[in-house]
Amino acid sequence: MKLGLETLDYLIFLVYFVIVAVYGYWIYKHKGKQSADSKDFFLAEGSLTWWAIGASIIASNISAEQFIGMSGQAFQLGIAISVYELVGGLTLVLIAVYFLPMYINNGIFTMPQFLQVRYNKNLALIMAVFWLFLYVLVNLSSIIYLGALSLEKMTGFSFMASALFLTVFAIIITLGGMKVIGYTDVIQVFFLVVGGLATTYLALSLLSDKVGTGAGVMEGLSLIKTKADSHLHMVFSPGQYQVHDGKGGFIDAYKQLPGLLMFIMGGMFVVNLNYFGCNQYMTQRALGADLKTARNGVLFAAGLKFLMPFIVVLPGLAAYVLFQESADAGIVNGITEAGIVKPDNAYPVLLNILPTGLKGLAFAALTAAIVASLAGKANSISTIYILDIHQKYFNKTMSEKQTVRYGRIAIVISFMIALLISPLLKNFGQGFEYIQEYTGFISPGITAIFLFGFFWKKTTAKGATAAAVLSIPLSAFLKFQLPDLPFLNRMGIVFWVCSLVLVIISLIESKGKDSETAFDVDKNWFKVSSEFKIGAMLLIGLFVLIYSIFW
């Protein structure tokens, strides 16, 4: 298997790079405000269309975490890993209906701002610091790590050279502000979808050529069905399948995706409600728009989420069958390192056996996903730091020009820290699992304080603070005391315990009265258009159909 791109591949990638750079510059010059404006820089207030909002959410969401990490877990676990994308799509519908009106009608632009308005400034500061550490040390660093890993496998350049390239490219996009990010994300999503689907098509064709008779894509799908039946089930039982753990051993697939219990105990919903509804990274591009535009954009993103398994899961399944059945030494040796099966290597190795030209398109798609996600994450980090920490505690009299300047400095510093940390993630086996598990230490408490803060008027600041503070030590305790407990079930348990503590403390403190900081809620906020209802019902029906077929 030959590492590196050919001249034609680089030319195709150059076309992508030039299109994104030129379009981003045009947006910056012609759609942006010429004077420094912090709301324009951080939120692109009132200027993103529904399709730009939806595309930007997906571009920021789909990154190396999915292309490399989720494809790796498709290699490891099979089609069941699609649950993150499918439930994510349904969760976006809930966010559009119930969360967005609460944010927009109450003038909320950042998550710490919500905590300050609904609770108090102490909780807002605690969580702002938590979010900054989480976004930089876990999310931003893991995206750089997985992205650099894929580029290293694909191009032959060193890990650090690949990481530096991605970081610099993302910095260029991010410094233009949210408006540049939002509109260039439309281009990024185009390359992501077209390149991703082309990669899936060719992966199935290669599977047919190397394992079957060369009859084409449909034979490739048939080979997955016949050669990898264990990988075509959405629901696992304890002890049903042992899969590679990425560290040289095996792990029960149920521990990764614990069957129906991840729904019953709520862990899967906690993951998605926190990620899409309580996460500056995801909500930011919608909060600068009016409610109707924001809702339509989020529904569009939900529809795109249902397309993602075709782009990130099917290639992982094809790589698994190739690894199991093909005599191609390049594939086997590429996926293993020192005799250890590394599922995260599956997608990069697959890209290396694509034909010249199409490899460049796949390279562009992967880079688009990585850079868009890095840009969105870094802008959110900068937004929280500047608006919720620096402006409130270090310099309350900053001018608009200073706010934007310090915002750009925060972007560069966060990238530098994540770049330095990223090589250390090689010790964590599965990249996607690492992100989900360690984000899950804090997400149960966050989800509880947002849900109760929105919809239960008796929730108090002390109750919310207790839930937020309890989440991390309780998660750590359960992880080490009950190591066989699936982390999704652990998140569900922690969420319910945090919620119970929140309710008890709030009832004691409030003495049954509504909190003075509770939001006034108008039921009319939650009414949606007929078109929105039809779109939502189609997604729910598709979810039920998929589980019916692949139970």
Closest CA to 69 of 434, 367, 415, 378: 434
Across 485-512, average pLDDT: 93
Give residue 44's pLDDT band: very low, low, confident or very high (50, 70, 90).
Answer: low
Give dist(CA 509, CA 515) in Å, integer.
10
Q: Is there a contact between 147 and 163 (Cβ–Cβ < 8 Å)? A: yes
State residue 228 phi and psi, 5-degree precision: -140, 50
Across 243-264, average pLDDT: 83
Q: Is there a contact between 302 and 89 (Cβ–Cβ < 8 Å)? A: yes
Residue 337 predicted with pLDDT over 60: yes
Closest CA to 321 of 413, 220, 415, 420: 220
Q: Is there a contact between 349 and 319 (Cβ–Cβ < 8 Å)? A: yes
Across 531-544, average pLDDT: 94
User: What pLDDT is attached to residue 34?
Assistant: 46
CA 352, distance to chain mean position in Å, is 25
Across 422-451, average pLDDT: 75
- Would you state the structure tokens that stand for residue 109, as one six-digit string? 């632009």
Residues counted in the chain: 551
The pTM (predicted TM-score) of the whole model is 0.84
174 versus 329: the higher-pLDDT residue is: 174
State residue 340 phi and psi, 5-degree precision: -100, 130
Query: pLDDT by residue (tens digit) across 124-151?
Result: 888 888 888 888 888 888 888 878 877 8
User: According to the per-residue pLDDT averaged within each range, which of 29-33, 44-48, 359-363 is highest?
Assistant: 359-363
User: What pLDDT is attached to residue 35?
Assistant: 46
Range from 60-64, 113-117, 131-135, 438-442 carrying the lowest mean pLDDT: 60-64
- CA of 204: how far to CAs of 4, 175, 224, 321, in Å? 22, 39, 9, 10
CA 520, distance to chain mean position in Å, is 31
Residues of 199-216 as b/e, b for ≥16 C-beta within 10 angstroms?
A: bbbbbbbbbbbbbbeeee
Half-sphere exposure of 253 (CA within 13 A, CB side): 22
Ranges of H-type helices in 175-290:
178-211, 217-227, 253-256, 261-264, 267-277, 280-287
Q: What is the dihedral of CA 289, 303, 277, 453, to 10 degrees?
A: 90
What letter would DSSP give residue 62? S
Residue 548, number of CB atoms within 10 A of its CB: 9
Domain 7-24+47-427: homologous superfamily in CATH: Sodium/glucose cotransporter (1.20.1730.10)
Percent of the chain residues past pLDDT 90, beyond the cut: 28
Give dist(CA 234, CA 84) in Å, integer.
11
Half-sphere exposure of 429 (CA within 13 A, CB side): 15
Percent of the chain residues past pLDDT 70, beyond the cut: 92
User: What pLDDT is attached to residue 541?
Assistant: 95
* Alpha-carbon dihedral sign for residues 339, 342, 346, 351: negative
Give residue 436's pLDDT band: very low, low, confident or very high (50, 70, 90).
Answer: low
Give dist(CA 322, CA 210) in Å, integer.
8
Q: ∠ CA 188-414-366 to the nearest 5 degrees?
A: 25
Across 416-439, average pLDDT: 72
Across 200-207, average pLDDT: 88
Q: Where are the domains of the chain?
A: 7-24+47-427, 440-519
β-pairing verdict for 250-252 and 336-337: unpaired
Closest CA to 447 of 127, 136, 132, 101: 127
Across 187-200, average pLDDT: 81
**First-to-last CA distance in the chain?**
36
Give dist(CA 316, CA 366) in Å, integer.
15
- Would you state the structure tokens that stand for residue 526, as one six-digit string? 């939650």
- Would you state the structure tokens that stand for residue 153, as one six-digit string? 């496998």
DSSP string, 333-392: HHHEETTEE-GGGHHHHHHHTSPTTHHHHHHHHHHHHHHHHHHHHHHHHHHHHIIIIIII
Query: pLDDT by residue (tens digit) across 441-465?
Result: 888 999 999 999 999 999 999 999 9
Across 304-332, average pLDDT: 84
Residue 222 predicted with pLDDT over 50: yes
Burial of 29 (C-beta count, 10 Å sphere; 0-12/13-18/19+) = exposed
Across 69-94, average pLDDT: 90
User: Across the chain, what does the average pLDDT equal?
Assistant: 84
State residue 107 phi and psi, 5-degree precision: 65, 35
Give dist(CA 163, CA 77) in Å, integer.
28
252 versus 32: the higher-pLDDT residue is: 252
User: What pLDDT is attached to residue 24?
Assistant: 76
Give dist(CA 246, CA 226) in Å, integer.
25
User: What pLDDT is attached to residue 478?
Assistant: 93
User: What pLDDT is attached to residue 328?
Assistant: 67
